[in-house]
Structure 1
Amino acid sequence: MTDWPYPRWVAHRGAGKLAPENTLAAFRLGAEHGYRMFECDAKLSSDGVVFLMHDATLDRTTNGSGVGGERPWGELAQLDAGGWHSRRYAGEPLATLQGLARWCIANGHFFNIEIKPTPGAEKLTGEVVARQAAQWWAGHTPPLLTSFKPESLQAAMDTAPHLPRGLLLDTLWKGWLETALSLECQAVVCNHALWDQSSVTQAKSAGLKCLSYTVNDEWAAQRLIDLGTDGIITDRVDLFAPT
């Protein structure tokens, strides 16, 4: 990728905490607040459908229970993924990556898809997410694929090397920069507190973009802007006017 097409501001899981995360209702609400780029979490059902969910288990964000990746899509599709949030969203279904792609392309939006595998499915999830993203976004600005799991990013690179990738970090562990470069990443996505002048300089000197999660305070956002970072993922779609 020679040009970086993505806007600075990214809505976390669709609309932060204002709507049930990772549902189409959340992405629509984030768009109503002016956001053009969204972050989501993608994992596999037991029969290979890519659906959106952060947790390994269904309990927190649906009326189901158990490990989501162990259930077939036909069962997952029947779950209520909105009632936990508020009565307004009761009955909102889980979203699929295919449905998300249709909505994204129809509206000209951008996406950061975090590959969030069920434990033990890191490689397979990276492969399937990359394959489907390459298929459904063909001819359009591709989503940025990110993961905390290097093996998922490696599988994505092997499957669809033209899709941009980013390494997610919750600590600056030894070898993080070398790993990002070996995976031919275009970006590093850090817990915002990890960025300082030294780490930003290291990443940018290596040709990497610097993105941050999850930034919900004005002082933190201004610090990152002053450091010259490139992307801010936020829950506060109601606070920050995207640019």
Structure 2
Amino acid sequence: MKLRLPKIISHRGAAGHAPENTLVGIRKAAELGATWVEFDVKLTSDGIPVLFHDDTLNRTTDGAGLVAEHTFAELQGLDAGGWYDTKFTGEKIPTLDNALATAAELGLGCNIEVKPSENREEETATVVAQKLTDKANTAGPPLLMSSLWRSVLEILQATLPAIPRGFVVREIPDDWHSVLDRSDCVSLHAGEWDLSKDKVAMVHEAGYKLFAFTVNRRRRAEKLFSWEVDGLFSDNPERIG
């Protein structure tokens, strides 16, 4: 399974320039010259995959409460842009379908990070996998799946074996190699603060790619690239590119 990714992937759309996990953010990433974007996906209460990072609505919308306790129709009544800047007021929470169509239109690859709400790991992975299976015969962007949840990766491996997978970790755990092997992953996505030259070499020696998140300072990017990390996730891809 081959994975060709750029050195820099625009994080949560283009979170340094537009509200995260929105269509305007994805469009901004393309405008900045990014060729790939990363975004987070979880389910509404009625099982619709939408782009959203937090478990709660409070930080990035004018709503409150758990995403998982709201229907898609209810979420569409919220403003997902005004919190960032008033010029984005009225921006909606997009569906996974919306995001993939926009990325395809712009020629962007997509790293879909499956980020389930509590106790919805299996359901979220299964719904996302089915959504992508249904689209298998239609033109769409190149994809990389990823998740912090090991059970999610195992389901994706079983249901979407042709789409590459990455294991997301804040800090590299002792059993990282067995997790990647068991889920047939191609990459490890680690918090940049936890990396060292030796850790990068360790991952490469095991035959995996290593991507670091979230890197917004050029000097740090240069250091990580000197250690030969394969790529970085950045809110400001133009700043470190």
Cα distance in structure 2, aligned partners of 1:172 and 1:238: 28
Helix, strand or coil at the partner of 2:188:
strand
| Partner in structure 1 of residue 194 of structure 2 | 194
String of CA shifts for 1:198-242, please: whole Å, max 9, x gaps.
22222112221110100011121011111111110011234133x
Please give the root-mean-square deviation of Cα atoms over the aligned residues, in Å.
Answer: 1.4
Structure 1: gaps spanning 5 or more residues: none
Alignment TM-score, normalising by the size of structure 1: 0.94
Cα offset, 1:141, TM superposition:
5.0
| Partner in structure 2 of residue 111 of structure 1 | 110
Cα distance in structure 1, aligned partners of 2:56 and 2:37: 22
Cα distance in structure 2, aligned partners of 1:140 and 1:62: 28
Cα distance in structure 2, aligned partners of 1:79 and 1:217: 33
Cα offset, 1:136, TM superposition:
3.0
String of CA shifts for 1:73-99, please: whole Å, max 9, x gaps.
111112110111111000000011001
Cα distance in structure 1, aligned partners of 2:154 and 2:202: 22
Q: Which structure 2 residues correspond to residues 69-84 of structure 1 after superposition, within 5 A?
A: 69-84=68-83
Cα distance in structure 2, aligned partners of 1:238 and 1:43: 28
| Partner in structure 2 of residue 98 of structure 1 | 97
Question: Does the Cα contact within 8 Å between 1:124 and 1:155 map onto a contact in 2?
Answer: no
Helix, strand or coil at the partner of 1:211:
strand
- Number of equivalences: 240
Give the share of equivalent positions with the same residue, in percent: 33
Equivalent AA in structure 2 for residue 154 of structure 1: E
Equivalent AA in structure 2 for residue 215 of structure 1: V
Cα distance in structure 1, aligned partners of 2:92 and 2:15: 17
| Partner in structure 2 of residue 167 of structure 1 | 167
Cα distance in structure 2, aligned partners of 1:134 and 1:204: 31
Question: Does the Cα contact within 8 Å between 2:57 and 2:65 map onto a contact in 1?
Answer: yes
Structure 2: gaps spanning 5 or more residues: none
Question: Does the Cα contact within 8 Å between 1:148 and 1:168 map onto a contact in 2?
Answer: yes
String of CA shifts for 1:21-40, please: whole Å, max 9, x gaps.
00001111111111111110
Q: Does 1:179 align with 2:157?
A: no
Alignment TM-score, normalising by the size of structure 2: 0.95
| Partner in structure 2 of residue 17 of structure 1 | 16
Question: Does the Cα contact within 8 Å between 2:40 and 2:51 map onto a contact in 1?
Answer: yes
Helix, strand or coil at the partner of 1:124:
helix
Cα distance in structure 2, aligned partners of 1:75 and 1:23: 17
Q: Does 1:26 align with 2:25?
A: yes
Q: Which structure 2 residues correspond to residues 1-243 of structure 1 after superposition, within 5 A?
A: 1=1, 3-136=2-135, 138=137, 140=140, 142-241=142-241
Answer with 93-102 or 127-136: which moved more.
127-136
Answer with 124-133 or 95-104: which moved more.
124-133
Cα distance in structure 1, aligned partners of 2:153 and 2:114: 8
Equivalent AA in structure 2 for residue 130 of structure 1: A
Cα distance in structure 1, aligned partners of 2:220 and 2:17: 20
Cα distance in structure 1, aligned partners of 2:140 and 2:27: 20
Equivalent AA in structure 2 for residue 121 of structure 1: R
String of CA shifts for 1:22-66, please: whole Å, max 9, x gaps.
000111111111111111010011111100010000111111111
Cα distance in structure 2, aligned partners of 1:133 and 1:221: 33
Distance verdict in 2 for CA 1:202–1:159, change over 3 Å: same
Question: Does the Cα contact within 8 Å between 1:101 and 1:136 map onto a contact in 2?
Answer: no
